[in-house]
Amino acid sequence: MLFDKYRYVVVEGPIGVGKTSLARRLSDHFGANTLFEKPDENPFLPKFYREPERYALATQLFFLFQRGNEARDLAQMDLFDSSTVADYLLDKDMLFARLNLTDEEFRLYQQIYATLQPQVPAPDLVIYLQASPETLVERVRRRAKSYEQTISDNYLLRLAQSYSDFFYHYQAAPVLTVNSEQLNFVDGDEDFSLLLKRIGQMRGEREFFSRGS
């Protein structure tokens, strides 16, 4: 069983890749606690997608404070007596900060981050979902969130590359990189079962899974 080995599992990936849907299915399947991002609570996010240079810092700081509060909640959970699935990794805040902030703003953000020092346990497993920028664009355009329709294709391309760079260097937890292009974990029971089987077979710290692998 998945959570016999991995008590704290994080599903990550760029916008539109399906991380929340997979995290929700994992938590429902195993009866695990959930820790989900709440982007709809960030009042600056729609403005950021329209005017990124103007609202990047405010958007980033709101998420930092929001996730800091959630980090404290996670730290208080007994991960030995319960299991938790999250759809974000706190460490990825720096990914977005580097991507979106000016040099001066990034230095300020680093100072605030260091002062707050949100502490969370390292995940037992990170499932990193990948998809091509073209697929991300198509999925985002298909979603019902009106404020996401202003996201530029170029931003999604840069975001996908930033995630790739981030996880290339990430070493805080075991990572299963999943090519989600031809896998449907929400509606496809077979694909979901294949993923669970692949997770159960993990032996190394960094492994890769795609259909046919």
Number of separate domains in the chain? 1
User: How confident is the model over 74-111, as pLDDT tens digits?
Assistant: 666 655 567 889 999 988 889 999 999 999 999 999 99
* Average pLDDT value for residue range 169-179: 94
Residue 126 parent element (H or E): strand 125-130
Residue 178 parent element (H or E): strand 175-179
Q: Which of 10-19, 120-129, 143-152 has the lowest mean pLDDT?
A: 143-152
Residue 23: band (very low, low, confident or very high) from pLDDT cuts 50, 70, 90: very high
Token pair 């929400």: residue: 186
Strand partners, 8: 84
User: How confident is the model over 6-17, as pLDDT tens digits?
Assistant: 889 999 999 989
Strand partners, 10: 86, 126
Q: In this structure, what CATH number is given to the domain that contains residue 111?
A: 3.40.50.300
What is the domain range of residue 48? 2-209
* Average pLDDT value for residue range 66-76: 76
Residue 145 confidence (pLDDT) above 70: yes
Token pair 């159960």: residue: 200
